[in-house]
Amino acid sequence: MGGVPNLEHTRGRPTDIRLPGLSLQQMYELATQVAQFAEGGIGVYDGDFLHLDVRGHRARWARVDGHYVGIEELVLEPELLAEKPSANHAG
């Protein structure tokens, strides 16, 4: 899915993933359960994939129509989703 020079992709630590049959929300929730990703970077993209990395500090972002936006534009944090049982966010 490509990387940009001098970003995490060029350092050999990230991956972009798409899990057929799962929504962005479901993939995000799974990623946050992996300690290395929970304490690393998780980017959510409107192309239905996640960027995951182990950068050594927590970072979250979303990209919609080529623009970076707050992650809440595409997914909810698992703890916020639990507070909203009727939420049907991000498909």
User: pLDDT of 80-90, one tens digit each?
Assistant: 767 765 545 55
The residue behind tokens 């970076």 is 68
Which residues pair with residue 69 across a beta bridge? 62
Which residue matches tokens 């997914």?
Answer: 75
User: pLDDT of 41-77, one tens digit each?
Assistant: 999 999 999 999 998 899 999 999 999 999 999 999 8
Does the pTM exceed 0.85?
no
The ranges assigned to domains in the chain are: 8-83
Residue 66 — left, alpha, or beta (φ > 0 → left; ψ -120 to 50 → alpha)?
A: left
Residue 73 sits at the vertex; the CA angle it makes with 58 and 20, to the nearest 5 degrees, is 80
